[in-house]
């Protein structure tokens, strides 16, 4: 079974997505997600210029060998662009293998370890009444776990607060939280860590009082605190029993989590911007985290993330795969197959895609009563409608960035 064709498909229904489609000489197709939010075309070039020519004529069955070949033969290892490209190849090959076997992918990964995947959604609001309304709306949609992001008095525009403006071209339609914005330059947002640290615990106290002790609540610090500030936040949130505090410090310095860990029992999740097992080596071995945030899309595919999660399992660390709208339905399906199969699944982030996206990517995964399931079609269970995709050409879009009151650039 040889790889006969490799196409890189860029489409922008609601937002930009990069998809790799592999076709074998016996006509089987496989899809892989290669979307890197705000840097999409770098992965397109990496795939088109340097990976596609190496794939043609290769045996589609040898997934591990292809992974090692792409990783080691490049000489230049890791990095988000490289690892997103390798991931797309890896997932497309798993899709093909599972289709050839006539099985949903999770069966090839060992079969189902559970009946479905607990998923969390993103509630947010600038003010407390808006936060409550958003939590209520998520409960009505069936979510059984909810991330809460709040505005901070004095700050105009910050990460994680859903915009009621909707996306350009779709104004007025709320598209949950979609941080990338179309346009030639990244939007500027503002930040003040002390104001944030004062305000967030008051919001969690109010949310716990309103919604009771059982509802799993999550919060994302989005890399903006110093280690001691993160420790302070973890400690001040302890009474509200968080499921996790995510990305409390910048991802580059993994030792920072030692300091955070010394001061708080709030569970910690990190890793959405990590791209290999080497980013996790120290923090898993030293048990500095509780959840691995990597997405299949950004961490070298099923083959590599499975190794990370097996390593994590030795320390009772669980999965909490990244699932924002910038992970395409192909990437989401891959996460669901892996999450259903592994023993140490924790929770899956799940933000619904827009209608245009759902028309481009036909899905067989389901969302029922707060739980996700990848479905039972052979392969990933996602197909791309090329005609629909062709309606939406790439549109330049960037993630925002932060400045402090004095103009200093800050982590976003």
Considering only residues 294-313, where is the footprint of ligand EZ4 by CB under 6 A? none
Using the rule CB under 5 A, give the single segment among 52-60, 205-213, 268-276, 395-403 that binds Co ion. 268-276
The residue within the footprint of ligand EZ4, chosen from 179, 227, 267, 300 (CB under 6 A), is: 179
Using the rule CB under 5 A, give the single segment among 95-103, 205-213, 265-273, 381-389 that binds Co ion. 265-273
The residue within the footprint of ligand EZ4, chosen from 40, 189, 220, 290 (CB under 6 A), is: 220
Which residue pairs from 248-251 have beta carbons closer than 8 angstroms and sit at least 24 positions apart in sequence? 248/221, 249/221, 249/223, 249/225, 250/223, 250/411, 251/223, 251/279
The residue within the footprint of Co ion, chosen from 220, 279, 290, 411 (CB under 5 A), is: 220
Kindly tell me which of 160 and 379 has the beta carbon lying closer to ligand EZ4.
Answer: 160
Phi, psi at 152, each rounded to 5°? -125, 130
Is 176 a residue that touches Co ion (CB under 5 A)? no
The residue within the footprint of ligand EZ4, chosen from 21, 126, 219, 222 (CB under 6 A), is: 222
Is 326 a residue that touches ligand EZ4 (CB under 6 A)? yes
Kindly tell me which of 51 and 161 has the beta carbon lying closer to ligand EZ4.
Answer: 161
Residue 349 C-alpha from the chain's centroid: 7
In terms of residues, how long is the chain?
A: 412
**106 carries an active-site annotation:** no
Q: Taking the C-alpha atoms of 254, 258, 260 and 265 in order, what is their torsion angle to the nearest 10 degrees?
A: 120
Pairing mode of beta strands 401-403, 409-410: antiparallel
- 121, 166, 244, 325, 348 from 145: Cα distances, Å: 7, 24, 11, 18, 10
Using the rule CB under 5 A, give the single segment among 39-47, 59-67, 159-167, 270-278 that binds Co ion. 270-278
Of residues 219, 222, 223, 373, which has the active-site annotation? 222
Helix (H) or strand (E) holding 309: helix 301-313
Q: Is the dihedral of CA 239, 242, 244, 246 positive or negative?
A: negative
Is 189 a residue that touches Co ion (CB under 5 A)? no
- 101, 201, 225, 230, 260 from 263: Cα distances, Å: 50, 16, 15, 9, 6
Is 383 a residue that touches ligand EZ4 (CB under 6 A)? no
- Edge to edge, the sheet with strand 188-190 lists 188-190, 401-403, 409-410
Of residues 71, 120, 143, 159, which has the active-site annotation? 159
Is 411 a residue that touches ligand EZ4 (CB under 6 A)? no
From the list Co ion, ligand EZ4, none, partner contacted by residue 37 (C-beta under 5 to 8 A by kind) = ligand EZ4
Residue 351 C-alpha from the chain's centroid: 10
Is 116 a residue that touches ligand EZ4 (CB under 6 A)? no
Residues 208, 240 contacting (CB under 8 angstroms): yes
**222 carries an active-site annotation:** yes
CA distance 143 to 350: 9
Is 402 a residue that touches ligand EZ4 (CB under 6 A)? no
Q: Which residues bind Co ion (CB under 5 A)?
A: 220, 272
Q: Which residues bind ligand EZ4 (CB under 6 A)?
A: 37, 179, 220, 222, 272, 324, 326, 399
Active site residue ranges: 159, 222
């Amino acid at each position: 079974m040889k790889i006969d064709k490799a196409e890189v498909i860029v489409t922008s229904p609601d937002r930009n997505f990069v998809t790799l489609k592999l076709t074998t000489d016996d006509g089987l197709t496989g899809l892989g997600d290669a979307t890197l939010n705000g840097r999409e075309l770098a992965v397109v070039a990496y795939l088109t210029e340097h990976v596609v020519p190496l794939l043609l004529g290769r045996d589609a069955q040898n997934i591990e060998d292809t992974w090692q070949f792409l990783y080691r033969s490049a000489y230049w290892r890791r990095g988000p662009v490289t690892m997103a490209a390798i991931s797309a190849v890896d997932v497309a090959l798993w899709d093909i293998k599972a289709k050839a076997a006539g099985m949903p992918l999770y069966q090839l990964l060992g079969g189902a370890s559970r009946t479905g995947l607990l998923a969390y959604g993103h509630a947010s609001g600038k003010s407390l009444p808006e936060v409550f309304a958003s939590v209520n709306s998520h409960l009505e949609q069936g979510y059984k776990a909810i991330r809460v992001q709040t505005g901070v008095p004095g700050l105009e525009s910050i990460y994680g607060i859903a915009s009621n403006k909707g996306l350009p071209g779709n104004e007025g339609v709320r598209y949950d939280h979609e941080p990338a914005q179309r346009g030639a330059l990244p939007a500027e947002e503002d930040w003040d860590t002390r104001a944030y640290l004062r305000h967030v615990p008051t919001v969690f106290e109010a949310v716990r009082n309103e919604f009771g002790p059982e509802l799993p609540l999550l919060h994302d610090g989005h890399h903006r605190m110093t280690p001691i500030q993160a420790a302070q936040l973890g400690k001040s949130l302890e009474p509200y029993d968080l499921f996790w505090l995510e990305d409390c410090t910048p991802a580059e310095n993994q030792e920072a989590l030692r300091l955070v860990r010394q001061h708080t029992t709030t569970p910690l999740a990190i890793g959405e911007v990590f791209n290999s097992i080497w980013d996790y080596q120290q923090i898993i071995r030293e048990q500095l985290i509780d959840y691995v945030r990597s997405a299949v899309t950004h961490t070298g595919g099923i083959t590599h993330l499975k190794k990370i999660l097996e390593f994590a399992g030795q320390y009772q660390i669980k999965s909490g795969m990244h699932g924002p709208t910038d992970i395409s339905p192909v990437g989401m399906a891959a996460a669901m197959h892996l999450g259903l199969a592994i023993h140490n699944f924790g929770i899956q982030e799940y933000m619904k895609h827009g209608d245009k996206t759902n028309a481009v990517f036909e899905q067989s995964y389901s969302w029922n009563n707060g739980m996700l399931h990848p479905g039972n079609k052979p392969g990933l269970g996602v197909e791309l409608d090329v005609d629909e995709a062709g309606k939406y050409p790439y549109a330049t879009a960037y993630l925002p960035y932060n400045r402090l009151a004095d103009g200093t650039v800050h982590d976003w």
